Structure formats: C-alpha cells, structure tokens
Structure 1
Amino acid sequence: MRPILVFCLPAIGDFIRCHAAIQIIAGRFPGQPIDIVTSRIAAPLARLMPHVRKVWIAEKHWKPGLKERLRLARKLRGENYQASYMLTSSTKASLVPWLAGIPERIGYPREFQFGIVNRLPAGWLKSMIAFGPRKTRLAEQVCAVACRGKKPAEDRPLPAPRLVVSAEELAGWRQRNGIDPARPVIAFYTSDFANKRSWPMERFVSIARDHVARGWSVWLVGGPRERQAAAEIRAHLPEAIDFTSTPDIAESMCQIAASTVFLGVDGGISHAAGALGGPCVLIYGSNRAYVHGPVNEQVLFVEPPISTPGWVENTRAVSEDRVREALTAAIQKNTPQFT
C-alpha cells in the first residue's frame, strides 16, 4: 500500500491538535503508512503519536526557501506517496507535494493554491469567502480537511489528540532521575510571567506550598521561556524541582506523564499535557479556552467569571480558591488513590 503524507502545523500546540486529523485518516485507510511533515521543534513529539510512521522536517521560515523546498520535494518523490493532506493553508507548504509529484493534494485553497492543491474539500467555496473571526476550533478545521469537508455524524465525536509515553520509557526516566513513583507530584507550566497568558507568580507559589505541606513534590516544566519564572518560584520555594533546562521536548513529556496532576496556562506544553491523558487543570483568559484550549475530555479549564469581557486575555481574575477546587476535582476524577 502506498503511504500517505500529512503536512502538519509547525507550532507545538497546533501540531498536537493535528493528531485528531491523523487519527481520522488512519481510520479511513487502515494499515496504510502515514508520514508527516512538521517543524524541527515539534518533530520529537511525532514518535509519541499513534499511527505516525515517519516525520520529515520543514522549517517554519525558509530563507530564501525555494532551494530547501526543492530538496525536500526530491526526497519525498522517492517515497511514492499516494496523497498528501494539507492541514496548513500555507502556499509555501503546498508547493512541496506539488514539486514532489504527489498525485492527490487535498486541502482548502485559502491562499488561492488552485492547481497546487487539486482535491478541494466539500464546502471549500464557503470557507474561502467567510469573513470575520473563525468560530470553529483549530482541531475542527484540520479534521475538516481529513474528512474532505464532510461533516461527521453527530453521534461520533472527533478524536482527541493523543501522545503515548510507554511504561518502559517512563520507568527508565524515573530510574535515571531518582524519582520515587509513590510520591505524588504536581507539575507547573507557568510560561513567562511577563506573558499576559500566565498567572501571577505568588499564586503559583501559594498552590505549591499547599502541596509541599501535604508531602507532594513540585516540578517546574517547560523550556527556555520558563526558566526565569522557575528561578523566581524557587527563590520562594527551594523545594521545587526545576526541569526547564531539559534539552529535549520528549523528555518534558516524561516529566508530565510521571506527574500526578498538571497545572498550566495557555501554551503548547499544556496541549501536550492534555494529549498525554493525565489529570490536567489549565488557567485561561476570558472566553479563550473553547477556541484555543485542548479538546481532551479530562482537561479542566479555569477562566475569569463569565461577566468578564471577552477581550480580557489576562488571568488575574482567576482566584486561588477556584484553582484549588479544580485540582481537587481533577485528581478525584482521574486518580482516586490521591483523594
């Protein structure tokens, strides 16, 4: 069977949401290999995605671009792909399967790639002339491409993105890092405290102290953007363990998978936490969680009161008490042994 190629979005959160579409394609073509194209930063997560055979790297910003696209297209030509699904509407991305000679190139021509994209989903014209803010979530948009524009039955919900860390990999990570699997852990993803999507530092510290007093470990996860925030938290709470210097994002997935509950704000790492399937509480700005948040069922969102105007993106109106209640509910629902 000839393989299928899926062009995914490059940012981590958007890339993870693309896995909903990959699952639909895998269901339509059982047994056919599925390869993906994404950015270098998101690529390490591909091996944790069910149904993905191989990943190709396409940098988000190619300069000047044509030489790199030709080089990738030449490699893809040798793979004999049957079809390509364009989950991104970028013309730069659409050029690659066209140059590679992939016969069926499916996607919405939102940048007028007629001919470059040669299989248009149902309702493509309506999508082209739509104005104003998009009301559908990004996961729904990429699933529309995978379904070729046909609406799924109402009694069949769209698949939620999934990332899977094996029990063996998780046990090896715990052993290498001296982690006691019996001790409960709360993992914090703070983003940069200067970011309007974050939550005040003193509230994270307060939640952390509550858990330390009950014998929990506190882990600070993320990357370079979160290192200063982690340092500020540790200045008030030296017991917290800083994992933000982790060089590999796949290592961060082990940290989240090994934790008992995850508390985070809007960001790609929070989408990963949702896809890993563990208890997850996310703090979002007003009216933003539905459109921008993960679609995984076990994720609990805490947002400002409904009376807060929708243009208020910061999270200061979210109280510590509401977050504590959400954490308790998430733990009780998903890990009864820690209630």
Structure 2
Amino acid sequence: MRPILVFCLPAIGDFIRCHSAIQIIAATFPGHPIDVVTSPMAAPLARLMPHVRKAWTVEKHWNPGLTERARLAREIRRESYQAAYLLTSSTKAALIPWLAGIPERIGYPRELQFGIVNRLPTGWLKTFVAFGPRKTRLVEQVCAIATLGEQTADNMRLPQPRMVVSPEDISAWRIRHGIDAARPALALYTSEFANFRSWPAERFISIARDHSRRGWSVWIVGGPREREASAQIRAALPEAVDFTSTPDITEAMCQIAASTVFLGVDGGICHAAAALGGPCVLIFGSNRAYETGPVNDHVRFLEPPISTPSWIRATNGVSEERVLAALMEAVAQVRRPQGA
C-alpha cells in the first residue's frame, strides 16, 4: 500500500493537535503507512504517536531556501507517496510535495497556491474569504482538511490527540534517575514567570510545598525557558527536582508519563501532557482554554471568572484553593474504580 504524507505544524502544541487529523486519515486509509513532516523540535514526538511511521524534518516556519526544499523533495520522491495532506497553509511547505511529484496535494489555498495545492476541501472558498478572527479552533481546521471538508455525523466526535510512552521506557527512565515508583510525584510546568500565560511564582511554590509536606516528589519540567522559574522554586523548596535541563523532548515525555499528576499553564508541554493521558490540571488566563487548550476530555481547566475583562492578561483570578481541589479530584478520579 502506498504511503501518505502529512505536513504538520511546527510548534509542539500545534503538532500534537495535528494528531487528530492523522487519526482521521488513518481510519480513511487503513493499512497505509503515514509519515509526517514537521520541525526538528517536534519530530521526536512522532515516535510516540499511534499511526505514524516516521517523521521528516524541516526548519520551523519553513525557512530553508529553494535548494534545501528541492533536496528534501528528492528524498521524498523516492517514497512514492500517493497523497500529501497540507495541514499548514504555507506556500513554502506546499512546494515540497509539488516538487516531489506527489499526485494529490490536499489543503486550503490561503496563500493562493492554486495548482501547487490541487485538491481543495469542500467549502474551501468560504474559509478563504472569511475575515476577522479565526472562527474555528485549530484542531477543527486540520481535521476539516483530513475529511476533505465533509461534515462528520452529529454524534461523531473528532479524535483526541494521543501519545504513548511504553511502560518499559518509563521503568528504564525511573531506573536511570533513581526514582521511587511508589512515591507520588507532582509535575509542574510553569513557563516563564514573566510570561502572561504563567501563574504567580508564590502560588506554584505554595502548591509544591503542600505536596512535599504530604510526602510527594515535586518535579519541575520544561526546557531552557523554565530554568529561571525552576531556580526560584528550588530556592524556596530545595527538595524539588529540576528537570528543565532535559537533553531531549522524549525524555520530558517520560517525566510527565511517570508523574502522578501534571499541573501546568498554557504552552506546548501542556498539550503533550494531555495527549499522554494522565491526570492533568491546566491554568489558563486571557487565552481561553476552549480556543487554545488541549481538546482531551480528561483535562481539568481552571480559568478566571468569565466576568474578568479579557484585556487582563493574567491568571491571578485562579486561586490556590481551586488548584489544590482540582489536583486532588484528578488523582481521585484515576484511583476510583470504574463505574463508582
């Protein structure tokens, strides 16, 4: 069976949302291998996604010049893909399957790529001429490309993004880092404290102290952007473990998968935590969760009251008490027997 190529968005959170569309394509073409194209930063996550065979990489924002795109097109041509789904509307991205001679190149011609994109979803003109803010969520847009614009049945829900870290990989990670599997762990993703998406430092520290007093491990996850915040938390709570120097993103996925519950703010890592399927509590502010948050059902969102003016770019309206209650409920839900 000839494989199918999916051009995904480059940012981590957006790439994970594309997995909803990948699942639709896999259901439409059972047995066909599916490969993806994304940024080097997001590509390692493809190995954790069901239905994805392998990932091609191209620089974020499709920056490489024509020579680099032509080289990638030559490599892709050898795979004999039957179709390319362009979940990104970038012309630079669309040039690659066109140069590779992939017969069907499916997507929205938002940058007037007529001919380069040669199969348009039903209703493409309506989306092409729409003005103002985006009317649909990103996950709905990429799924509309996967379904060729056909409306799903009323009772059919869009697939939720999913990633899987094997129990063997989690066990190996615990052994490497001397982690006691019997001790519960709270994974914190803070972003930068100066970022309007974050939550006040003193509240993260208070939550961390509360869990530490009750015998929990506290793990701070993320990357270079979170290192300063991690140092601030550890100055107040030295026993907290700083994982922000993790060498690669798949290691971070092991950290999240091995934790008991994840507490985070708006960002790519929160989409990863949601897709991994564990207990997940997310704090959102002026970026409302419905528009930019994960679409996974099990996630608990905490937002300021709806009456808070949208121009207040802060998460201060979310209290510590609400967060503690949500964390306790998230963990209890997992421990509760099914049907209880």
TM-score of the superposition, structure 1-length normalised?
Answer: 0.98
What is the identity, as a one-letter code, of the residue corresponding to 2:15? F
Aligned to 1:206: 206
Tell me how far apart the structure 2 counterparts of residues 279 and 201 of structure 1 sit (CA, whole Å). 22
What is residue 159 of structure 2 aligned with on the other side? 159
Is the 8 Å Cα contact of residues 7 and 37 (structure 1) preserved in structure 2? yes
- Say if 2:62 and 2:93, in contact at 8 Å, map to a contact too: no
What is the CA–CA distance in structure 2 between the aligned matches of 1:259 and 1:135, rounded to whole Å? 36
**Residue identity (%):** 73
Q: Give the Cα separation in 1 of the matches to 2:321 and 2:238.
A: 23
Runs of 4+ in structure 1 off by over 6 angstroms are none
Q: Which residue of 2 aligns with 1:26?
A: 26
Amino acid at match of 2:156: R
Cα deviation 1:259-317 (Å, max 9, x = unaligned): 00000000000000000000000000136100100000110000001111223332111
CA shift at 1:74, angstroms? Answer: 0.5
Offset of residue 335 of structure 1: 3.1
Task: State the one-letter code of the partner of 2:144.
Answer: A
How many residue pairs match? The answer is 337
Q: How does 1:221-232 map to 2 (within 5 A)?
A: 221-232=221-232
What does residue 331 of structure 1 align with?
A: 331
What's the counterpart of residue 43 of structure 1? 43
AA aligned opposite 1:218: V
More displaced stretch, 155-164 vs 305-314: 305-314
Which amino acid is 2:16 matched to?
I
Unaligned runs of 5+ in 2: none
| Separation in structure 1 between the aligned mates of residue 52 and residue 78 of structure 2, nearest angstrom | 19
Aligned counterparts of 1:36 and 1:126: Cα–Cα separation in 2: 27
2:54 aligns with: 54
Render the CA deviation track for 1:25-81: whole Å, top value 9, x for unaligned.
Answer: 000000000000000000110000000001100112455611110010010011100
SS at match of 1:246: coil
Matches within 5 A, 1:70-89: 70-89=70-89
Which secondary structure state, in structure 1, belongs to the residue aligned with residue 60 of structure 2?
coil
Query: 1:214-270 CA distances to partner (integer Å, 9 max, x unpaired)?
Result: 100000000000001000000000010000000100000000000000000000000
Partner of 1:145: 145
Using the TM superposition, give the Cα deviation of residue 322 of structure 1 relative to its aligned residue in structure 2, in angstroms.
Answer: 1.0
- 1:301 aligned partner: 301
**1:1-339 → structure 2 map (5 Å cutoff):** 1-61=1-61, 65-286=65-286, 288-336=288-336
The AA in structure 2 aligned to 1:159 is P
Task: Name the aligned partner's letter for residue 163 of structure 2.
Answer: L
Give the partner amino acid of 1:252: A
The change in CA–CA distance for 1:229 and 1:162 in structure 2 (over 3 A counts) is: same
3-state SS, counterpart of residue 162 of structure 2: coil
Partners in 1 of 2:4 and 2:62 — Cα distance?
Answer: 24
Task: State the one-letter code of the partner of 2:230.
Answer: A
Cα RMSD (Å): 1.1
| Contact 1:286-1:306 at 8 Å conserved across structures | no
Residue aligned with 2:210, SS:
helix
Do the aligned partners of 1:62 and 1:68 also contact (CA within 8 Å) in 2?
A: no
Q: 1:328 deviation in Å? A: 1.5
SS at match of 1:264: strand
Amino acid at match of 2:67: K
Q: Partners of 2:189 and 2:44 in 1: how far apart?
A: 19
Q: Within 2, Cα distance between the matches of 1:168 and 1:220?
A: 23
After superposition, the Cα gap between the structure-2 partners of 1:28 and 1:249, relative to the gap in structure 1 and judged at 3 Å, is: same
Q: Distance in 2 between matches of 1:64 and 1:305?
A: 44
Q: Distance in 2 between matches of 1:261 and 1:24?
A: 29
Report SS of the residue matched to 1:274. helix
CA distance in 2, matches of 1:62, 1:91: 9
